[in-house]
Amino acid sequence: MKEGAPVREIYENPEKKFALMESVMNGSLDSVDKEFIPTPVDFPGLPTDLTKEGFLKWIEKETGIDPKIILENGKSPESRNKYFILNYAFQQAKNFLRDTLKYSEKEIFLEIDSIKSKEDIFNILEKTKLVGDKEGLSQSIKYCRIVKTTIATYEALKNDSKLLSKITADFEGSLVSSPAEGDIAIDTPLVFSGKYNEVGKGFRAINDSKIEGTINSRAKDFEKIILKFLTRPDSDAKTALKDGIASRVTVEKDQAVKLLPILYEWLTKTIKATDIKIENKSFFSTAQIKKMVGNIKISNGSKNEKFQALVITGKLHDDSYGGQFEMQLVDPDNKNEEGGMHHAIYDVKKFVNARTRLDGGCPEDVFEEFVKDAHIKSGISIKEIKNELIEEHDAPIIKKRKKNGKCIYITDKVYRRWHNFKWVEESLFKDIQGVCK
């Protein structure tokens, strides 16, 4: 392979990519599943002949921002507010690239340090245009990276992601009450038991004190929402915020049989949630499902599911995607976080995935930092983490050696997808399947 491959190869022969971009922009591919067409995160720069009018059309397609608002240049209240949000997204995107994906200051330093006018927007997009020389290409990649991440951040901001903490607190508060001393009316199905443990806050059912467990609710971190936009091929608000509000209920399975109808009634009648789906991921047995009271539809996940939980998803309101929730019922003895299933190890895969989609791959020194962080968070040895990520059969990450002796890490899934819509040449795709030891 050439020095630096496969990162540089994905920027070669961009004409067919630009032709496909035009098809995306004019809407001729709107009916195709995003899994099978490129998204903004996949495009390696903008066409060299794209005009300001073309920039505006591209912005409108990818963000929904009316070109008139951009051209008003902050002179109207609506335009001024839009520029404020865009600049905030731009600054947060740089923070994300530095703090979460570990890009160096040199890699995120830009000649343009804010978005306050249409000139700033046009100047940034001009610099994403691919040019042939080595220095020009590296600058194009840098600006393209920040534009992609800014789009992801903007989408997260406009869909309630900053309000998720409050929405999550209200969600749990309407489910589990924490009564003060004295006689008060309790209008929640569950009540705080007065105990905490390492997995959450204890509760009992109001009408059946034998039903008890723990609950731990959290709002999806803003950074994790941005990361999901960058790692999912179907990057949009609905996908990224699917589990924006998350509650994990730890309860014995026999008690969960009685608890689920209580939760279902609360979801449908009290808070009037919509689009409710319940999936049994190796949690309930067939016999336990037959004991279920009420007409509750439960679908089955994969029979080979390692992760064991009953997963309930739905929406709290219809005006945005920020009200999407996910509840998991898990057994106290669940092994969902053991070994390669630990979230810290899974995060490494997502970080490398994001870097692969943004740049074509993750440098060796950065990968080592990701692994070290996972080791500290999980207590799992560095050797075991690397084994899960790059050595096991069907491991998600491929390690390739460059001519300078260093290795680059890429996610196989990204390159397989790129290969499906002819984003990478056949020879390159075959080459990256070899594993460097």
pLDDT one-digit tens code per residue, 80-101: 999 999 999 999 999 999 999 9
Check whether 231 has a pLDDT greater than 60. yes
pLDDT average, residue stretch 54-66: 90
Query: What pTM, to 2 d.p., does this model score?
Result: 0.79
323: Cβ contacts below 8 Å, ≥ 6 apart: 160, 167, 244, 245, 315, 316, 317
Q: What is the pLDDT of residue 218?
A: 85
Higher pLDDT, 127 or 235: 127
Check whether 334 has a pLDDT greater than 70. yes
Higher pLDDT, 189 or 431: 189
Give the rounded percent of residues in the chain with a pLDDT score beyond 90: 38
Going along the chain from its start, the domains and CATH numbers come out as 39-158 (no CATH), 163-334 (3.30.460), 338-437 (1.10.10)
pLDDT one-digit tens code per residue, 109-164: 888 999 999 999 999 999 988 765 455 566 788 898 999 999 989 988 876 666 77
Confidence of residue 5 (pLDDT cuts 50, 70, 90): very low
Q: What is the pLDDT of residue 216?
A: 92
Q: What is the pLDDT of residue 339?
A: 62
Give me the chain's average pLDDT, please. Answer: 83
The Cα-based distances of 429 to 10, 43, 230, 234, 355 in angstroms read 11, 18, 21, 22, 18
- Of 345, 336, 339, the C-alpha closest to 311 is 336
Q: What is the pLDDT of residue 435?
A: 44
Q: What is the pLDDT of residue 160?
A: 63
Give the rounded percent of residues in the chain with a pLDDT score beyond 70: 82
